[in-house]
Structure 1
């Protein structure tokens, strides 16, 4: 029962703070506004071709599933939230020294870390549900207002949503790994924001201009996440749509491998050190 007790303790630590619902609410508003706004923009452009051309709105690539791109904003831009939650779940313990009583109650540190990873996988999936509710709900409403296809009756759309929830769960586990590698809360925050909002988007955009670099960029974490989901805003934001994406299961394996590598690395460094 030690692992179950540790798992229960991890949920108690999280849900007795305000962090989880603040992140969930911010995530909902952020991705929902982006999905609804883009849905309205592209819906207007499709209904007013001449006006949109004069306004400088580029036509969408032929064969593009617009609804899938709109809905996938949940993970394309929203994945930073489960990463932050997972990282804060670890770095907060170092900052406030709550690991000391935790390790006294459960001396086997591997069990504590495993329980933290599993709890964040579950909570990350919950954030995924929140994000996809926002993008599907507001995005479909915007598309429907202009009589565009919403795709809600297609099985592929719901499969994409399920993979999107899985992606968000894996991102939360990546956050736990980052937190164990970088116990400083400020440093972890800077790394997450800088990498997700600037470094990787810049690398993906720069790499898209060359076939060789574009094929390498497919293995970046965000690109792997997009491959797992099966849709991404980058398909219309990069020249020529970028290179051919990885298969969905390949993207999932890459994200999982990153989470495992970071967590194991953190376990053998900061996690086994004295915390007092």
Structure 2
């Protein structure tokens, strides 16, 4: 069988594996509830006091506040999916079915990251619609929506790739989640509060700070830019994937 057909077959298997695991449906449902719930809260608050709305805002801006929650949910979901067959021992039959580990790596990365990113973007789009139902005068202009989806697509895609990479590298759901929380939340916030220049610099170069800047336009340092934030997130995602890919390709599956 050609590599292309093997990749397609492996991709289909990965897609089926995602949606035959109960945890995937739980994560997807929880993400949708959280995003729509926050959309309702934001919309209700805005309708109660329109004077607090920033001039020029649209319903799309309301869902920026759900961006970090969506990011955490997707990273966790990607990490859980990436480690699921290691936790159950299913990685052995998986490699028997797809012995070319490079193809398995490509299929798992593309399907898991693509699925979770798309799920996040659809959830946030639905959240914007919920905000709009409460404050219809804000509108849902397509150009603003396309711009926001593009911005959030970068954040969510990098987060999903980070989750897959950490999952493949650690082969442990708990370890992958702990590392993700440290890199996206605890590390940036803690280091930014310490009274040292070097801790602020380290905080600025963590993926959580990059995500924060891209979503809200603010970060721990005034030196951050959109380009630097994107490069930070991309670099961490690629580093995590490189580590995870090396472990999948070079070490025994059950170790």
- TM tier relative to shorter chain: 0.7 to 0.9
2:88 pairs, out of 87, 96, 99, with 96
Residues 1-276 of structure 1: matches in 2 within 5 Å? Answer: 1-47=5-51, 65=57, 67-144=59-136, 147=137, 149-150=138-139, 152-153=140-141, 155-193=143-181, 195-203=183-191, 206=193, 217-228=203-214, 231-232=215-216, 235=218, 243=222, 245-247=224-226, 249-269=227-247, 272-276=250-254
Q: Deviations over 1:181-226 (max 9, x none)?
A: 211222223333455454434445x37x999976764433133234
TM-score (norm 2): 0.81
What secondary structure is seen at the aligned counterpart in 1 of 2:135?
Answer: helix
Tell me the distance in 2 between the aligned counterparts of 1:3 and 1:169: 21
Tell whether the 8 Å contact from 2:183 to 2:207 is kept in structure 1 after alignment. Answer: no
Q: TM-score, normalised by structure 1?
A: 0.75
Distance in 2, matches of 1:187 and 1:31, equals 26
Deviation at 1:118, TM superposition (A): 0.5
Residues 179 and 188, structure 1, Cα contact 8 Å, conserved in 2: yes
Q: Contact 2:188–2:208 (CA<8 Å) still a contact in 1?
A: yes
Q: Which runs of at least 4 in structure 1 moved beyond 6 Å after TM superposition?
A: 209-216
Summarize the Cα distance change of 1:21–1:133 in structure 2 as closer, same or farther, 3 Å threshold: farther
For residues 93-131 of structure 1, the C-alpha deviation after alignment (integer angstroms, 9 at most, x for no partner) is 211111111222222212211111111222022222332
Supply the distance in 1 between the matched residues of 2:166 and 2:63 (Cα, whole angstroms): 27
Partner Cα separation in structure 1 for residue 246 and residue 12 of structure 2: 24
Which of 250-259 and 215-224 deviates more? 215-224
> Aligned-residue CA RMSD in angstroms?
3.3
The structure that is helix-richer by fraction is 2
CA distance in 1, matches of 2:48, 2:224: 29
Q: Which SS does the other structure have where 1:243 is aligned?
A: coil
CA distance, structure 2, for counterparts of residue 36 and residue 215 of structure 1: 37
Gaps of 5+ in 2: none
Task: Flag the 1:272–1:244 CA change in 2: closer, same or farther, 3 A.
Answer: same
1:211 touches 1:243 (CA, 8 Å); kept in 2?
Answer: no
Q: 1:164 to 1:4 in 2, by over 3 A?
A: same
1:271 positional shift: 5.2
Residue ranges of structure 1 left out of the alignment (5+ in a row): 48-58
Q: CA deviation at 1:142?
A: 3.0
Are the counterparts in 1 of residues 101 and 248 from structure 2 also a CA contact under 8 Å? no
